[in-house]
Structure formats: C-alpha cells, structure tokens
Structure 1
Amino acid sequence: MAAPGRRETLRLLSQFGAFILTRLGFWNCFSMLMLFAERADVKRKPDIQVPYLYVDMGAAVLCSSFMSFGVKRRWFALGAALQLALSTYASYAGGLVHYGDWLKVRMYSRALAIIGGFLVLASGAGEVYRRKPRTRSLQSTGQVFLGIYLICMVYSLQHSTEDRQAYLDHIAGGEVTVQLLVVVFGVLALSFLSGCYVRIAAQILAVLLPLVILFNDGNLGYWHYRRRVEYWNQMKLIGQNVGIFGAVLILATDG
C-alpha cells in the first residue's frame, strides 16, 4: 500500500507545480500593470512601448488561460515560452528603463528560468494522463535554462554585493554559509545542464527555493527601501521565483 500512496503524493505535487506554472502569466500581467501604474506617478516609462505592451499582455493571458484549462497545454506552453522570450528581449533591447547590472541578472535570469519551465511543461512533463510520448528534447532544453538560472545565482552570490548582503542578513554562519550555497547551487546547475540526476537535483532545489523566496525575496524592506527596487518589480520577481518552484516540482516528481 505504500507504493500507491507514494505515487499519489508525487502525482499531486506534480499537479500542484503545473497549477502554479500555468497561472504565472496572470501574475506577471497583474504585477506589470501595477508596476507601470507605480511608474506613472513619477513619470517613468514602461519597459516596452505601450502599443506592443498590450499585445504582449494579451498573448500572455491567452496562453495562461488555455494552459490553465488544459486545452492544448503543450502548444500553449510553447507559445508562453515564445511570448516571454520576445517580451524579455524587447525589454532588454529597448533600453527604456535603466537597471543596475545586479538587478538585470536577477530579472533576466528568472525570465530564462520561467521560459525553461514552460518548455518542460511543453514536453509533456507533469501531465496526469499522458496520451502522447514526452518530448525529451524540449525537457532537456528547459533544464538547461534552469541550469543557467542557477549559474546566475552563483554569479550573484560571488560578485553582487546586493545579493550577498541579502543572504548575510538572514542566514547563520556568514560567509561560510554563503560559500556553501555557492557550491550547492553550482552542483545543482551542473546537474541540470548535463541532464544527470536531474530528479534528485530538482528535489533538493524544491526544498531550497521556498526558503529563498521567504527569507530573501520576501525581505521587501531590504530590496525596496535599501536597494531601491520598485515595489511591484520585486513582487513580480517573487512571483517568478514561485513559478520556478512550480517547474522544479514537476521535474522533482515527473522528471
């Protein structure tokens, strides 16, 4: 009886991960609207020019809606990955808003990880009743994007004063613990990039990410007041890390 119970638990966790990831587009659009409303008060521009911004948001909502209802989930997950890739590129290439280098790493690495999560979903991972074989090439590509995200976390912990201090404020052991995290994230990154022991790596990351979200991302006083990250930009980053957690849950249970 233990094995069926374990399978049911894994299935529920996989469904929960897919639930989070498929709804992420709604949070992204809401947080972006709130961010641009926040900027309007101080006459700052949005990341993307307004006519294209509404098209981008419409595409995100459309893909999230169909994924949420399970209609052609693989196709719309692929569409969501493409939409986010184009949106991220347009934001970066447009250069309408200046961000510090450390904040760019935080923003664009998370966008890459979410794109990877959508590719994992598009591969067929996390489906309750898989009617078609899983597309391993899409899953492998998604895993590489998640590996790049982890490499960016390692880079930030080594070279970003802002990120290092955020961890040092909330962990015991100081620099020793930070260097231990560098090693752990580095090993997990190698696992995702190489495709070896991905399920075990995803299970470890599924335990670490909620702690990062709670104690690091959730420290709004530090990021918003001390580092001057816009409130709704930080809320968007928190939502994206939650979405990454959803993708990791899928890999941890159905990888």
Structure 2
Amino acid sequence: MAAVTSKKALRFFSQFGAFILTRFSFWNCFSMLMLFAERADVKRKPDIQVPYLYFDLGAAVLCASFMSFGVKRRWFSLAAALHLALSTYVSYVGGQVHYGDWLKVRMYSRAMAITGGFLVLASGAGEVYRQKPRTRSLQATGQVFLGIYLICVVSPALTETDPRRRVLSYLDHIPGGEVTVQLLGVVFGVLALSYLSGCYVRVASQILAVLLPLIVLFIDGNMAYWHHSCRVEFWNQMKLIGQNVGIFGAVLILATDS
C-alpha cells in the first residue's frame, strides 16, 4: 500500500514538473512584452529587433501550446529548446541593450538551464504513459546544461570586480549571511558535478527541488534589492524569477521520473 502511494506521489510531482515546464514559455513571452513596454517609456530598445521579435514570440507560444496539450510533446520540446537557444544567441549578438557582465551571467545561464529542461522533456522524461524509450543522449545533454547553470550560480569568478561587490553587498539580505552563501556554494558545486558527470542525478535533483523554491522566495524575490539597489528592470527580474520556476519544473521531472 505504501509503495503504491509513493508511486502515485512521484507520478504527481513528475506531472507537476512537466506542467510547469511546458507552460513556462507563456510566462516568458508575457514578461518579455511587459519588459519591452517598460523600456518603451524610457526610449530603450528591446533585445531583438521588432520585426523578428514577433516571430520569436509566435514560435515560443506555438511550441508551448503543443507541449501543453501533449501533442507531439517530444518534437515540440526539442523545437522549443532550439528556439530558445537561437533566441538567446540573437539577443546576445544583437547588442540592442547593454547589460553588465554579472547580469549577463544570470540571464544567459538561466536560459541555458531552461534549454536543458526542454531537452530533458524531449527525451521522454515526465511522460505518464511512455510508449517509446527515453532518448538518453538528450537527457544527458539537458543535465549538462543544468550543471553549467549551477556553476554559473556559485562562481563569481565568471564575472569581474563589480559583481563581486554586488555579492558582498547582498549578504545582508540573505538569511544567515555569508555562512549561508558559503554553504549554498558548496552544495551547488556538488550538485553541478552530479549533473555534469551523470551520477546520482535523481538524488541531486531531489535536493535541488527543495533548495530552488527557497532561492526564488528569499533571493530572487527580493525585488527591493534587485530593482532598486542593482537597477535590474522590474520585468526583467520577473522574467528571471519565471526562469527559475521553469528550472524547478525540469528538476522535479528528474527528481521523480524513474
């Protein structure tokens, strides 16, 4: 009886993770539109030039719609991963908006992690009634992307002097201060190694599934710090929060899908 209940619980969390991830693009498109509207008030350009922006949003909504309804989910998950990777690359090389290096790390590492989440979904993970075996290569690639994201979270060496000062100034806003930051750094480093090596991925995902909601709540959700102190645009920060929620969905799938 306990085994049956446990299996149902795991299936529920796996479906919940797939629900979050398949609908992530809707929030991403909405937050992008709100961000560009926010920029229009101060005469700032969007990340992607306007004629191509509409195609970008349309492709994202199309993939999300098919994934949400479960129609050819593997194909459209792969398409969503390729689309997000291309969109991120275009926004990076376009140079429409200047971001600080520390903010680029936050933005592009999360986009990479979401791309990895879509690859995990495209592999067949999270399916309730799996008719085809999982594509292990896609899942392994997605796990590597998640591992790189975790490295970017804990490695201030990827950024320069200014971000280091920002990390130090942010210690006062994190419960536990520097001790909490050091512990998170160690834990995330170990989890990153797990994802990159492919060992104990399920256990690592279960740990990360517990930590990510706390990070979203206490760190990403501190709008006063990010918006007022660091000058991150309000809807850009909301977009980043949504990306972490999408990553949480991917992690839930890896944590519960056997």
* 1:11-160 pair list within 5 angstroms: 11-156=11-156, 160=163
In the alignment, which of 162, 167, 171 is matched to residue 166 of structure 2? 162
* RMSD (Å), alpha carbons: 1.3
Residues of 1 paired with 2:125 and 2:135: CA distance?
Answer: 9
What letter matches 2:208 in structure 1? L
Counterpart residue identity of residue 145, structure 1: F
2:174 touches 2:180 (CA, 8 Å); kept in 1?
no
Alignment-derived partner of residue 254 in structure 2: 251
5+ long unaligned stretches in structure 2: none
TM superposition shift of 1:171: 1.7
Deviation at 1:162, TM superposition (A): 2.4
**2:240 partner amino acid:** L
Secondary structure of 1:202's match?
A: helix
1:51, 1:254 → 2: CA distance? 40
Give deviations 1:200-251, integer Å, cap 9, x for gaps.
Answer: 0000000000000000000001000111000000000000000000000000
Task: Verify the 8 A CA contact 1:199 1:253 in the aligned structure 2.
Answer: yes
Q: Against the structure 1 CA distance between its residues 86 and 177, is the aligned structure 2 distance closer, same or farther, given a 3 Å change threshold? A: same
The alpha carbon displacement at 1:168 in A equals: 4.0
Counterpart among 168, 178, 181 of residue 175 in structure 1: 178
The percentage of aligned residue pairs carrying the same residue is 78
Kindly indicate whether the alpha-carbon contact (under 8 Å) linking 1:158 and 1:164 is maintained by their aligned counterparts in 2. no
Deviation at 1:180, TM superposition (A): 1.5
Distance 2:25 2:157 in 1: 28
Q: Does 1:206 align with 2:209?
A: yes
Match status 1:222 vs 2:225: yes
Structure 1, unpaired ranges of 5+: none
Aligned length: 254
Kept after mapping to 1: 8 A contact 2:202/2:255 = yes
Distance apart, 1:181 and its partner CA? 1.1
The 8 Å contact of residues 157 and 178 in structure 1, kept in 2 or not, is answered as no
Note the C-alpha offset of 1:170.
2.0
Match of 2:155, SS state, is helix
Change (3 A) 1:167 1:116: farther
Whole-angstrom CA distance in 2 between matches of 1:181 and 1:232: 26
Which residue is 1:241 aligned to?
A: 244
